[in-house]
Amino acid sequence: MPASPLFTVAALLALLLAVPAHALETGTIAPTLSLPQRDGSSLHMPDGRARLTYVDFWASWCGPCRQSFPWLNRMQARYAAQGLRVVGINLDAKTADAERFLQEVPAQFEIALDPQAQSAKRYALKGMPSAALLAADGRVIAVHQGFRPGDAEALEALIKSHLDKP
C-alpha cells in the first residue's frame, strides 16, 4: 500500500526538523553535493561551472514549488548566457512523484533527485521550498525560504546584481 501524501509530508517535515541547529549562512561555503539527475548522470555542486548557481530544493506536494518553477525557467532562460545556473533538487521519497510533477510543471533547468533527502540535511533546510544562491567558488550569497509571486522581483534583482559584478 503506497504511503499517503500526508504521511510523506509528515516524514519530510520530521526530517527537516531533525537537521542541525546551524542553518546555511551567507559567506560560508555550501556543502558539496553529488546527486543523480533524471538522465542518470551525476550532478556535482559546487563545481565552478557557473558564475552563480541558484539551488532550489522542492517536492511534488509543495504548492509554492509549483508557483516557483515558471519563474525559475525564466531566470534560467534570461541569465544563463551571463553565467547563471539553476538547479532543482527534488526531495520526494518516490521519483515517480517528481516525474508526475514535472509532466505538469516542466523544468527547463537541471533537476537532481535526492529521495533520501541527504542534501536537505547537509544544507540544514528549515522549510519548503528553500533556495541558496551560490558563487562560483561555492560561497553562499543568499538563502531564501518559501516562494510567493511577490518574491520574484527582489530575487531577480539579487541575481542580476551579482551577475553584473566584474
Domain with residue 109: its CATH number is 3.40.30.10
Q: Is 49 exposed, middle or buried (0-12, 13-18, 19+ CB in 10 A)?
A: exposed
pTM of the full predicted structure?
0.85
Q: What is the residue-level pLDDT of the chain in tens, covering all 166 positions? A: 454 444 444 344 434 433 343 467 888 999 999 999 999 999 998 888 899 999 999 999 999 999 999 999 999 999 999 999 999 999 999 999 999 999 999 999 999 999 999 999 999 988 889 999 999 999 999 999 999 989 999 999 999 999 998 7
Nearest-angstrom CA–CA distance, 40 and 12: 24
Strand 110-113 with 33-36, pairing? unpaired
When divided into structural domains, the chain yields a total of: 1
Q: Which domain holds residue 94?
A: 5-163
Q: Is 130 exposed, middle or buried (0-12, 13-18, 19+ CB in 10 A)?
A: buried
